[in-house]
Amino acid sequence: MTDESVLLRIRPEMIRARPIQFALSVVLIPAYGLGLVLLAYWWLSTVSRELTVTPRRVRKRSGILANQTTELRHEDVKNVQVSQGPIQNLLNTGTLRLSSAGQAGIELTMTDIDDPQGVRDVIYQQQDH
């Protein structure tokens, strides 16, 4: 993906995707710093995941010390699922799942992203090119 232009680069949302979890973590800060530990872990898991959409493919990279990368070419994507709970729907966040004809299940899942339906639409637009 070195010579490809980047159409979207997305990291998970922290507060908007899980406002109740955030509020509970903040409330737990006075409890021996437990809330700070939870927020630090959550932040690390958030910044260690990235979804990139280019004109040719979708790539998910995750990991801090060791990286795992999953790539799907747009022409191979056969199923795109968007999941949003009631609060996520209100805040326009959710989960994107992609699969191809070559695999039986979901190959790429990205949770807690902003505007998952918009990301799906960008992928569909690239498939039409």
Predicted confidence at residue 2, as pLDDT, reads 53
* pLDDT level of residue 1 (50, 70, 90 thresholds): very low
Q: Within a 10 A sphere around the Cβ of 66, how many other Cβ atoms?
A: 6
What tens digit of pLDDT does each residue of 8-25 get? 999 999 999 999 999 999
What tens digit of pLDDT does each residue of 79-108 get? 999 999 999 999 999 999 999 987 788 999
What tens digit of pLDDT does each residue of 49-80 get? 999 999 999 999 999 888 999 999 999 999 99
What percent of the chain is modeled with pLDDT above 70?
A: 98
Predicted confidence at residue 3, as pLDDT, reads 62
Parallel/antiparallel/unpaired status of strands 68-73 and 57-62: antiparallel
Query: Domain spanning 8-128 has what CATH number?
Result: 2.30.29.30
* pTM strictly above 0.85: yes
d(CA 55, CA 35): 41
**Burial group, residue 86, by CB count within 10 angstroms (0-12, 13-18, 19+):** exposed
Q: Which residue has the tokens 């959710």?
A: 94
Where do runs of H (alpha helix) occur along 10-79? 19-27, 34-47
What percent of the chain is modeled with pLDDT above 90?
A: 87
